[in-house]
Amino acid sequence: MSLDNTWFSEPVDATGTAFSLKLGERVHSEQTPFQKIEIFKTETFGWLMTIDGCTMVSTRDNFLYHEMMSHPALNSHPAPEHVVIVGGGDCGTLREVLKHPEVKTATQVEIDERVTRLSEQYFPELCVANNDPRATLFFGDGLAWMKDVAPASLDVIIIDSTDPVGPAEGLFGAKFYVDCLRALKPGGLLVQQSESPILHLPLITEMHKFMRQAGFAQTRLIHFPQTIYPSGWWSGSIAQKTAGPLAARLDEKAIEAMDCQFYNVDTHAAAFALPTFVKKAIAG
């Protein structure tokens, strides 16, 4: 079925797949120094932000990604006090991170301020924590920021970036992981959005290899649904600075207080339960 212009479609030649959403209209388009950002009004998913033609965030389903890119990692750390989000310009991950009372500082390092300004306009519900006294919104390249940050100063690093192309490409490489390792305190960990287990397994395997080459003691994968991303099945890769079991701070009352729509004690456990083909691929 060829789609007319009442549909937004993200065809991905490399994977032979596409995702489409029935449109209302395209309401904004701008070329920033880094990328092309568009905002669409869709018929069933609310607002949609795309970057260089790739779906980033929609009103209807962003909770899947923002909750799963923050809570499993934060609850796998014994005391996540100092957190950095690289990317995350829509501010949804920042909002989830700041639901954790243990967090003392949350710094968002986003290369393109226009992403945040447009999110404030079209996704204000994602920006409700931006004025939290613990939050710092820094606009700059995460690669450079991680080189300069004080060693052993961070507990958790969340890499919530675009796909490994353009400004985000270096965020998927061993050199960046060496800088992240140095920035983390003993016991620290990073979690990085690592694309689709069914479409991008070679990339995931390579990321885990680079993380271990950089000196991380252990890597794991979490997976979760994410409707608007290619295949609808997404992942996060966790790398631990020191070996050993992950903490599992799964206080049901504390989690309930976070008012999540997807994350809970059961989906936390399920995210770490890997299909055989994925387990084999990342075994290293």
Site string for ligand SAM, 108-137 (x = CB under 6 A): -xxxx--x----------------------
Q: Please, are residues 164 and 32 in contact by the beta-carbon 8 Å criterion?
A: no
| Residue 90 binds ligand SAM (CB under 6 A) | yes
Q: How far is the CB of 49 from ligand SAM (least distance, A)?
A: 7
Nearest residue to ligand SAM on Cβ basis: 87
Q: Which is nearer to ligand SAM, 67 or 112 (CB)?
A: 112
Instruction: Report d(CA 90, CA 88) in Å as an integer.
Output: 6
Site string for ligand SAM, 25-64 (x = CB under 6 A): ---------x----------------x----x--------
Let me know if 160 is a catalytic residue.
yes
Site string for ligand SAM, 134-173 (x = CB under 6 A): -------xxx----------------xxx----xx--x--
Q: Which is the catalytic residue, given 160, 179, 251, 266?
A: 160
Give the residues lining the site for ligand SAM (CB under 6 A): 34, 51, 56, 65, 86-90, 109-112, 115, 141-143, 160-162, 167-168, 171, 193
